Chains A and B, each alone.
Chain A
């Protein structure tokens, strides 16, 4: 056990720090509040810059344009990005989830065709997994792909698709064999979103914004060459994408949470509660301290999981702990913010009485989705129960 950085890790961090210092955009604050539709080209340019510096996908193997970074180095990467308040990258799903899946399962042609443009943000990717009737029970999905000569013909509907409105390509899970058990008849297709028959609609969520889309496919023709992995092996391909999702998601959250709690602590010194600063209210102090502590534990959990994964080589079901931990903690952080601000907590962006221009009212609503997206807490607990503890499958 040694939590000091190794010489290589220090070198990695210092090189990154120097690069970020010289290249991170200074005007992100003017953009960050704007709708994604407006800021997207800005984020694209930023990813392009990272790509040119060789920093767009540090976790990817060197031969595909990454740095073959260890998990610890990946964690350092996200920490440094958060430290300088760097903007997010435009093609986050392509870089984080879909690119690694193509590297793992793709043919040489697919890798050559797709990987460079994922890195450069020239092609934005979205992910078509969930359906109106297939959420946690993903394998029951109904979008079908019927073979017709050298094409598949796709019909169906997907929901909760991030980046659907801007996506050039989509990693789509479809049913290619309806006659076998539900996990065994799935395949993954890489679909050009400009194909005739693809329709994208905005999905307005409870925050009032439309981060997500619904996708409709009507007789969409997809070349057979665009299947990712083997026919009817789509479940394994999809699960591997989900593992990347759970593994890397949490790594970048620690400093964001830390920034939230530090801001709350700062505000607690002046914000009045029951006629005195909230920082002097015993209950508020207890709750702030609890969140502060859990944010640290979240990081230690991650570091331990990284060390385990480094030893075993693949992301495993441990990711489920991280997912439960960060999503529930994020909700508690927002709840203590609401308790501290009282009636001010509900005020939204644009209201002159709102705290921090409404980020806390937004955060309270947005984090409600955290225990649902990327695998509900219930599914994560099923995964721990069955795959970690060896209890019989409940479903």
Chain B
């Protein structure tokens, strides 16, 4: 039993860290967040060159064929860099759904261009009632056409095709499809844009059953948790550096226990989130029986932890932490957007309760 990274996993993580630090420093993040779509084509091409866009997909479609743990590590580094744009939406979300749901021909059509770096995509799931339960979806496709409204669709404006989850299946809709209207929502996280997407008799190609979404969403959720972990780590690092340097009453504020203990709590919650995230990624990769529940545990814990870490980070920075110029608020806003995506902690606690209280199950863990 070995719960550390292998040499190749560590190398992938180190390389990703270096890549994002070089190609996507905070100046680039701040520049992109002021644009309409937060999408940079040349950055995307470089990510594709690294194999990031096909990281978990089969080699027959041009992917790299790595596992969920590798995706987790890549997302962690993307999170540390606060990578703007549609990487999560395209790879961890839409790609995972296509991979789980579509036929080989459709994968050639939709997954291969994602791997190659030629296409961006996203998933339209939530509707006005914002339920993460597929049974609550109202939109129904009829005669290869869909009508209705989806909300909180990330990165829809730069998607070459949008994966739409309807009551009766998962569908692909081309970017320029008739009757589709994409309007931006004014979310607080400027690095990941959200949209309202309307369909009116819009042609849609069925790529699979709704039942395929659950597995894919587990992958996307773990990826998002890892992104949160990377963000928490960055906020912790920035905050600790600040606490060492900033002086009040003639001493570095990090010398005061009231400050130091907040930093210790940030560390504890960051590390615990990371343990949960890595375990969930490994559990999904190995398809162990408790995989789904460990995804919920990770999302539940990290959703709250990322907010707590952000709160402490801003508090320790004092007035500086409340300024636009300081970077912590950018992570704080991403954390808020990710907190609700795929269910917040309350949602996942209830999901855990259903599994362990109602179903009478307990995690089978004789180790």
Contact = CB atoms under 8 A, between A and B. Distances in A.
Nearest to A10: B1
B1 A2 contact: yes
Given A1-B278, A289-B356, A311-B4, 18 more contacts: A3-B3, A3-B279, A4-B286, A5-B1, A265-B356, A265-B362, A293-B349, A297-B301, A300-B3, A310-B2, A324-B268, A380-B264, A381-B261, A385-B260, A385-B261, A385-B263, A391-B252, A391-B259
A307 B3 contact: yes
A306 B256 CA distance: 31
Interface in A250-293: 258, 262, 265, 268-269, 279, 282, 285-286, 288-290, 292-293
Contacts of A339: none
Contact of B282 (A3, A310, A388, A392): A3
A325 interface: yes
A353 interface: no
23 contacts: A1-B9, A3-B279, A5-B1, A9-B1, A79-B367, A258-B362, A288-B357, A293-B300, A293-B349, A297-B275, A297-B297, A301-B275, A304-B3, A304-B278, A307-B3, A381-B264, A386-B260, A388-B264, A389-B264, A390-B240, A391-B243, A391-B252, A391-B255
Contact of B2 (A2, A76, A388, A390): A2
Contacts, number: 163
Given A294-B301, A301-B271, A391-B260, A3 B349 contact: no
B352 A289 contact: yes
A293 B350 CA distance: 11
A201 to B, nearest CB: 34
Interface of B: 1-6, 9, 69, 240, 243-244, 251-252, 254-257, 259-261, 263-265, 267-268, 271-272, 274-276, 278-279, 282, 286, 294, 296-297, 300-301, 346, 349-350, 352-353, 356-358, 362-363, 365-367
A1 B69 contact: yes
Could you tell me the dominant secondary structure of chain B's interface residues? helix
Given A1-B278, A288-B357, A392-B254, A382 B1 contact: no
A1 B3 contact: yes
Contacts of B2: 1-3, 72, 307, 310
The range of chain A's interface size is 35 or more
A286 B353 CA distance: 7
Contacts of B282: 1-3
Contacts of B297: 293, 296-297
Closest 10 CB pairs of A and B: A385-B260, A307-B4, A391-B254, A384-B264, A381-B264, A300-B275, A289-B349, A289-B352, A285-B353, A303-B3
A285 B278 CA distance: 26
Nearest to B367: A79
Nearest to A294: B301
Contacts of A268: 357
Contacts of A388: 264, 267
A309 B279 CA distance: 18
Secondary structure dominating the interface of A: helix
A308 interface: yes
A289 B4 CA distance: 27
A285 B276 contact: no
A79 B362 CA distance: 16
Contacts of A394: 255-257, 260
A390 to B, nearest CB: 7
Contacts of B357: 265, 268-269, 279, 285, 288-289
Contact of A392 (B1, B5, B255, B264): B255
Contacts of A265: 356-357, 362
B350 A285 contact: yes
Contacts of A4: 1, 286
A304 B270 CA distance: 13
Contacts of A311: 4
A296 B297 CA distance: 8
B138 to A, nearest CB: 25
Contacts of B69: 1
Contacts of B6: 1
